[in-house]
């Protein structure tokens, strides 16, 4: 098939240029190579396409029909090539983005319109899921992930730190007391996150190093916002990122505890499959995310509008 297409291009260029010599120059081939391609095409089709004379070339009836089709084929190929090239320079087409439910809902969704306004040719499919998706297998262009990122075949750009705090409702602390050291947590109801990389273990920092608190959760959920809401209702102690807890902490419905033992921070990363060159739509999203989610992040600012 590829040989046929190459021969058709050579045939069309011979007709366009009115001869084999000029067609060869345009194609960057030798005159004999172009002549052989056209001859092989005629042999394959079992018909003559060109009537040759010492002065000029003339199309046969079969040659005329084939030439018309070749023009359309070449035009489509050139258009496809131009379109593919433009995707590397102009952000356009569908961008499939994966993000966690809480972060995507509370921080990404309301900011995506600015990206779309900047790049009118771009469309976004935002899929929110707290599990780690397989970008290649599931066909995503890019993902925002909050993690202590392990080694991966993906390419990652760190955008912002993600602080985590331990918090509980004032009503809960009034009933059960306020923990003042990591070991005090053994006397408290702890809420567990299904997708936590550490399982039912919290790593807390202190002067003596890292304290590992293993617990049997009184509640387990697969979404951080749901756990924060349960903690605010007095269900127990929760460890969550500040991008989820900030509104509860500002309103006082949750109170941070063990502040001097704050867990090591995670990171917010833009991750995408390897491959070069990087599509313009992916680059545009990375630039947008880097400008939006900075270090320090806006949700940790001393004062912030709700």
Long-range contacts, 169-174 (Cβ 8 Å, 24+) = 169/231, 169/232, 169/233, 169/234, 169/253, 169/254, 169/255, 170/252, 170/253, 170/255, 171/234, 172/231, 172/234, 172/235, 172/236, 172/237, 173/255, 173/257
Q: Are 294 and 160 in contact (CB under 8 A)?
A: yes
Query: Would the pLDDT of 64 be above 80?
Result: yes
Strands 122-128 and 93-99: parallel
Question: What is the structure's pLDDT at 71?
Answer: 81
Q: Where are the domains of the chain?
A: 2-86, 93-162+266-300, 164-261
Q: Domain 2-86 carries which CATH code? A: 1.10.10.10
For range 60-86, the mean pLDDT: 77
Measured CA to CA, the distance from residue 74 to residue 12 in angstroms comes to 9
Top-confidence residue, 183 or 149: 183
Question: What is the structure's pLDDT at 129?
Answer: 94
Highest CATH level, class, for 164-261 = alpha beta
Beta bridge partners of 161: 267
Query: Would the pLDDT of 306 be above 50?
Result: no
Give the E-state strand segments of 195-290 in sequence order: 201-206, 209-214, 219-221, 238-241, 255-257, 266-272
Query: Would the pLDDT of 114 be above 60?
Result: yes
User: Which of the four pLDDT bands, split at 50, 70 and 90, describes residue 88?
Assistant: low
Highest-pLDDT range among 10-19, 27-36, 119-128, 273-282: 119-128
CATH for 93-162+266-300, among 3.40.190.10, 3.40.640.10, 3.40.50.2300, 2.60.40.10? 3.40.190.10
Q: Which residues contact 203 (CB under 8 A, 6 or more apart)?
A: 210, 211, 212, 213, 263, 264
Query: Would the pLDDT of 127 be above 50?
Result: yes
Measured CA to CA, the distance from residue 97 to residue 93 in angstroms comes to 13
Question: What is the structure's pLDDT at 79?
Answer: 64
Q: Are 50 and 57 in contact (CB under 8 A)?
A: yes
pLDDT digits (tens, 9 = 90+) for 224-239: 999 999 999 999 999 9
- Residue length, the chain? 306
93-162+266-300 matches 164-261 in fold: yes
What value does the mean pLDDT of the chain take?
A: 89
pTM, rounded to two decimals: 0.70
């Amino acid at each position: 098939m590829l040989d046929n297409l190459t021969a058709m291009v050579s045939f069309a260029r011979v007709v366009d240029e009115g001869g084999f010599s000029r067609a060869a120059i345009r194609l960057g081939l030798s005159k004999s190579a172009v002549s052989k391609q056209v001859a092989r095409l005629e042999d394959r089709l079992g018909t003559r396409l060109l009537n040759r004379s010492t002065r000029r070339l003339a199309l046969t009836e079969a040659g005329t029909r084939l030439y018309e089709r070749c023009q359309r084929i070449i035009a489509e190929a050139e258009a496809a090539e131009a379109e593919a090239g433009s995707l590397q320079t102009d952000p356009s087409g569908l961008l499939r983005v994966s993000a966690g439910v809480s972060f995507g809902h509370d921080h990404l969704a309301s900011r995506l319109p600015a990206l779309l306004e900047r790049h009118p040719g771009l469309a976004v499919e935002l899929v929110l899921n707290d599990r780690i998706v397989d970008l290649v297998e599931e066909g995503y262009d890019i993902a925002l992930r909050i993690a202590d990122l392990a080694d991966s075949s993906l390419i990652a750009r760190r955008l912002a730190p993600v602080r985590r705090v331990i918090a509980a409702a004032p009503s809960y602390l009034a009933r059960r007391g306020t923990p003042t050291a990591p070991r005090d947590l053994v006397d408290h109801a702890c809420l567990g996150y299904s997708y936590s990389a550490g399982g039912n273990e919290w790593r807390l920092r202190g002067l003596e190093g890292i304290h590992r608190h293993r617990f049997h959760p009184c509640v387990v959920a697969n979404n951080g916002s749901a756990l924060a809401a349960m903690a605010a209702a007095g269900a127990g102690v929760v460890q969550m990122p500040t991008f989820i807890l900030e509104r509860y902490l500002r309103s006082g419905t949750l109170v941070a505890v063990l502040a001097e033992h704050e867990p090591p921070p995670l990171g917010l990363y833009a991750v995408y499959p390897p491959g070069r060159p990087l599509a313009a739509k992916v680059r545009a999203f990375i630039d947008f995310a880097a400008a939006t989610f900075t270090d320090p992040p806006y949700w940790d600012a001393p004062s912030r509008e709700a």
